[in-house]
Structure 1
């Protein structure tokens, strides 16, 4: 498996555990946030921009806010890979008990540290249009 694919999958496990309340220790949130570059930016599915401070505030306030959350990642595609970064696209499915399922197409841009670690530098998410 590609290290970037492993990172996308393991990061989403941390996100699901934190948001669902399966993990509640502050260290879990800190470990999750450590995966994101201090220069992180994001375009949320509805078009709203978010920076690292906004991401931090979101995760710190949202721990346990989505009990029963299920997340599934598929269609991982390596778009670009180099010594300094990588770009990966994927499809993300989310479901919550009693709520409508959601699906989004996402693209993450990674920075690679000199030690070889991956940091999320940018994330762009777009809602998948429902077929009518």
Structure 2
């Protein structure tokens, strides 16, 4: 057998990881990880998951705390900008979201041409 030196990447939260990205090219073989239980598919500064421990964090905040203390737009702001908004940031962000969520009047007319029993996917494709 061959011996390969693999780099260890330091985790900001949780366990460090072994970078096996070069294994298939250099060793002419693949790694096997049933159910991907020991595989990280990407680096993320947004989300940390340790499912076996019941941990899910977004930008360092526990999902339970976000669900109890923040609303949808606060969490959206957190995911986009990396921090929870202050009052002024929240007000500006909600105005931006409201502005960009307006639906063109022509689309309203288009939606009215569908029967109420039409499949939602067909309506969405038409739009």
What range is the shorter-chain TM-score in?
Answer: under 0.3
Higher share in strand:
1
Higher share in helix:
2
**Under a length normalisation based on structure 2, what TM-score does the superposition of the two structures give?**
0.18
**Under a length normalisation based on structure 1, what TM-score does the superposition of the two structures give?**
0.17
Structure with bigger RCO (C-alpha 8 Å, 6+ apart):
1
